[in-house]
Amino acid sequence: MKFSANLGFLYTDLSLTDAVHAANVDGFDALECHFPYDTPPEKLKAALTQTGLRMLGMNTWPGDRAAGDFGLAALPGRAEEARAEIERAFTYAAATGVEAVHVMAGRTDGGTATEDCFRDNLNYACDLAAQHDIGVLIEPINTRDVAGYHLSGTAHAERIINDLARPELKIMFDCYHMQIMQGDLAKTIEELLPIIGHIQIAAVPDRTEPDQGEVDYPWLMKHLQDLGYNGHIGAEYRPRTTTQDGLGWMRALKGNA
């Protein structure tokens, strides 16, 4: 298996560019991040070039996090702001070589207006993505951690992808979120694999290293290989101590590959 370091959760004591180099030294095969905007794109691109690592994905800006925002794309009253952030994300991704943008929906009442807004903004994102050969990801997120998040299940994400029929648009399948919301990870991944763009892992329920908890990740990784999944597995977890001290899980899984 190939593993990508999520620099939103790992190596957070370092600058983004230093984290790129640290992940390379520690044996990660690729990278992903959350909000890289404070790092000048030319500096991130230089670090990626120096290490030879791919940056698989990044997020649109979530809005005013202090006020409870967790995305903007499904908020009808803030469509202009959402599109400005979508544009900013794709501009940054194109300048740095980031391969996909996760468009964050936000917290909504789940009504028709919010769904229509989300779909309109996803179409807008896909138009930009097509210009730059960049992917668009949507991620179902559990409502235990993010109450009211507009997209919280894979059936909803599948409907959106099928209805919009945009080749740029795929699911970011986070095993942590979907074990909390749905369970039955193996079967769900098997059914959705053609529209899954990226997979992430973390222990459930504490979101630490994927070497304990409810999910048997060694078994699941073998199942993914048997299914023919050849993408990366994103390490999006909160280390129990330091990032480096907690990487035994990756060495073990690579040893079993």
**Which residue, among 26, 30, 34, 31, has the nearest Cα to 8 in the 3D structure?**
34
Q: How many CA atoms lie within 13 A of 158 on its CB side?
A: 9
Are 90 and 121 in contact by the 8 Å Cβ rule? The answer is: no
pLDDT grade for 23, boundaries at 50, 70 and 90: very high
CATH number at residue 81: 3.20.20.150
Are 89 and 101 in contact by the 8 Å Cβ rule? The answer is: yes
pLDDT tens figures, 121-154: 999 999 999 999 999 999 999 999 999 999 999 9
Q: Read off the pLDDT of each residue in 16-43 and give the average, rounded to a whole number.
A: 98
Q: Name the phi and psi angles at 157, rounded to 5.
A: -60, -40
Predicted pLDDT at 255 = 81
Predicted pLDDT at 176 = 98
pLDDT tens figures, 82-114: 999 999 999 999 999 999 999 999 999 999 999
- Contacts of residue 67, Cβ cutoff 8 Å, sequence gap at least 6: none
Say if pTM beats, i.e. exceeds, 0.85: yes
Give percent of the chain above pLDDT 70: 99
In the residue annotation, 139 being an active-site residue is answered as yes
In the residue annotation, 115 being an active-site residue is answered as no
Burial (Cβ within 10 Å: 0-12, 13-18, ≥19) of residue 210: buried
pLDDT grade for 256, boundaries at 50, 70 and 90: low
Are 238 and 9 in contact by the 8 Å Cβ rule? The answer is: yes
Q: Read off the pLDDT of each residue in 180-186 and give the average, rounded to a whole number.
A: 97
Q: How many domains does the chain have?
A: 1
Single out the catalytic residue among 139, 158, 168, 191.
Answer: 139
Predicted pLDDT at 147 = 97
pLDDT at 30 over 90: yes
Structural domain for 193, as ranges: 2-255
A 10 A CB-CB count for 54 gives 17
Please tell me the distance from the alpha carbon of residue 70 to that of residue 61, in angstroms, as a whole number.
9
pLDDT grade for 72, boundaries at 50, 70 and 90: very high
Q: Read off the pLDDT of each residue in 220-240 and give the average, rounded to a whole number.
A: 97
